[in-house]
Amino acid sequence: MARERVKMKKTREILRLHFECNLSKQQIADAVRKSKGSVFNCLERFKATGLGWPLSGDLTDSQLEGRLYP
């Protein structure tokens, strides 16, 4: 069974909680109501994009999704 992608709103929240609040993957998973594996996957995909934090203000959800899920 294929996994469902994390919505971009939740993806941005995962990134914010990771970079700005320094929460653990489990704490982030609890906060956004996703599995720890989904959080790990999201953070690994973000790392692979080469993007930095904070994200550029003009980066749209569609552009971010395209970078995370090429």
Sign of the dihedral defined by the CA atoms of residues 69, 11, 50, 58, in that order:
positive
Q: Which architecture, in CATH terms, is 8-68?
A: Orthogonal Bundle (1.10)
- Indicate the angle between helix axes 8-19 and 25-32, nearest 10 degrees: 140
pLDDT at 3: 63
Q: How much is the average pLDDT of 27-42?
A: 97
Measured from the Cβ of residue 38, the count of other Cβ atoms closer than 10 Å reads 21
Largest CA distance in the chain: 35
What digits encode the pLDDT tens for the residues 38-68? 999 999 999 999 999 999 999 999 999 999 9
pLDDT tens for residues 2-26? 566 789 999 999 999 999 999 999 9
The pLDDT value recorded for residue 60 is 96
